[in-house]
Amino acid sequence: MGFYSFLRDDRLVAASLGLTTVGFLFAMRSMLEYYRNQAEIKPTPPKTQYITQDTEDSLNLNTLESLLTHYNFAIRDTALKIVAGRAVNDTSAVDYLLWGITRTDYEERMEALRALAFAVEDNTFQEPLNALNTSKAHTALVRSLELCLDDMEHEKLDDPLYDEYYLRDIGERRCLMLVCQLIHRFSTDKLIEAGFVEKWLAKQPWGDDDEERQKNFAMYMERRKNRITDICFHLKTSKAGRKALFKAKLTPKIRRPKRDRGDHIKVVLEISMTNEDDPDGPLRTEPVPRANDQTAEEQRLRRRHREAMVLNDGTHSLGRSDIIEREHDSNS
C-alpha cells in the first residue's frame, strides 16, 4: 500500500510531468537543428588548381602560342612565365637570343633584347643570371652595345648639369641594365675580358684630346648617377678595370709616392714639461732618441729610469713636485 500511495502522490506526478516536458523540448530542439543543418545548401568552395611542372612540360609550342594571344591577362602572364622559364633553362634558346642581340638589323636586335631582358627579370626561377654568366654572353652584350653606337648620334659629354642617359636608345639601356645585374651578382672580370672599356666606353664622346677626355670622364663620374657610372665604379674597384680605363685614356695614371727605404732613420722626440709653480719658466727640454738607435743595455736603463709615480689631487696643475721618480742606482 505504501508504494501505491507514493505513486499517487501529486508532487511526484507534477515532477514527472515537468521532467518529461523538458526532455521532450530538448529532444525536439535537437531534431529540428539536425534537420535544419541537413537541409542547408552550402556554397561549394572553389577548387584551387595549381599548374605543376609536369603540366608545364606537357604544353607544346602551339598551345603556348595560343595562350600568349589569349584575352585573359592572367593566362597570358602565366604563358609568358612558362616561356621565359623554358628559355632560361634551355642553353640553345639562350644562345639563340645572344646571337639575336648581335644582329645588325635593329628590329631583330630589339626583339632579342626584349626577350632576354624579360627572361632575366622574371623572379619565378632562381638565379636566372647564371645563364648569362659566361664569356660568350658578355661578348654578345658588348657587341650589342658596340652596334648601338651607330643607332643614334651622341653629343659631347661635357655638360655638368645635363644627364643624357635616359635619352639614350632603349636597346643600349637594356644592354647596360643586363651588364649592371651581372656585375652586381658576379664580378667585372668577364666584362673587362670582353672589351667593354675599349669597344664601347672609350668610344663615347668624352672629348677631342686626352686631357679633355679625362676631365669630362671625371666630371661625369662625379655628377652623374646612372648605370654607366655604376659600371665604371665597379671597374675602378679591380686592378684590371683601372688598367683598362688607363689604357683607354679615361683616367690618369696613379703615381704612388716612393717610400724612403733608408736604413739610417733617426727620429727625435722633444719632451717638454712646464711647471706652473716654478717662476723660472719651462723646464729643460731634452731630445730623446728612438729606441732603434740604442743598444739593449741602454734601452733597459731607459725603461728603468722612466718608472715614476704621479700624485695629484686635482687642486692644482701638474708640476714637477707631483712626480715621484724612482731612485736610480748608478751601478745598475
Calculate the average pLDDT of the chain: 79
Residue 227: pLDDT band (50, 70, 90) is very high
Residue 331 has pLDDT above 60, yes or no: no
Residue 159 has pLDDT above 70, yes or no: yes
Lowest mean pLDDT of 99-103, 196-200, 320-324, name the range: 320-324
User: pLDDT per residue over 182-195, tens digit each?
Assistant: 999 888 999 999 99
Residue 204 has pLDDT above 80, yes or no: yes
Lowest mean pLDDT of 69-83, 136-150, 258-272, name the range: 258-272
CA distance 165 to 221: 13
Q: Nearest CA to 145 among 186, 95, 180, 94?
A: 180
Residue 287 has pLDDT above 80, yes or no: no
CA angle centred on 116, ends 110 and 121, rounded to 5°: 125
The set of cell numbers assigned to 11 is 508532487
**What pLDDT is attached to residue 254?**
66
Q: Where are the alpha helices (DSSP H) in 149-290?
A: 170-185, 189-193, 196-199, 210-223, 227-236, 239-247
Q: Nearest CA to 179 among 139, 237, 217?
A: 139
User: pLDDT per residue over 53-63, tens digit each?
Assistant: 677 777 777 88
Residue 276 has pLDDT above 60, yes or no: no
